[in-house]
Amino acid sequence: MREKLWIYGGLLLFLVGVTFPVWRDAITHATTQPPALEMPANQKQCVAPTDYMLTSHMKLLMDWRTSAVRDNNWKYTSFNGKVYQKRFSGTCLQCHSKAKFCDRCHTYVGARTPYCWNCHVDPALVKGATP
């Protein structure tokens, strides 16, 4: 049994490696709770029900983009009859903040940062910019 040290040492290393994510999270106080949904102060209801927005906001954004840019159709009538302008910065980002809303959840679920931001301007970047 001269290999005892190697066998038990190896097993221990293996266990430590396998359980690494668990105790790393314990040490860093990571939580499995999703980030709390930050509600905008000035609005109670989004352009669609929360459940739908949670799962399908990307589809809605794509539909808005296509119909507004290509079909010159800028008005969106929501499920409760309210009419919105199909604008990303002008409508969505008036309530939601990129850093506190979009990015936080995308980071949590490990979703790639979409390329919207390559062109569309985060209004938080332009404080006090008026013509």
DSSP per-residue string spanning the chain: -TTHHHHHHHHHHHHHHHTHHHHHHHHHT---SPPPPPPPSS-SS-SS-HHHHHHHHHHHHHHHHHHHHHH---EEE-TTS-EEE--IIIIIHHHS-IIIIIIHHHHHHTPPPPTHHHHS--GGG-TT---
User: Taking CB under 8 A as the rule, does residue 72 contact other proteins?
Assistant: yes
The site string for other proteins over 50-69 (x = CB under 8 A, - otherwise) reads: ---------------x---x
Q: Pick between residue 52 and residue 74 the one whose CB is nearest to other proteins.
A: 74
Residues 79-108 that bind other proteins (CB under 8 A): 87-90, 93
# of chain residues touching other proteins (CB under 8 A):
23
| 115 near other proteins, rule: CB under 8 A | yes
CB nearer other proteins, residue 35 or residue 57: 57
**Binding positions for other proteins, rule: CB under 8 A:** 65, 69-74, 87-90, 93, 115, 118-123, 125-126, 129, 131
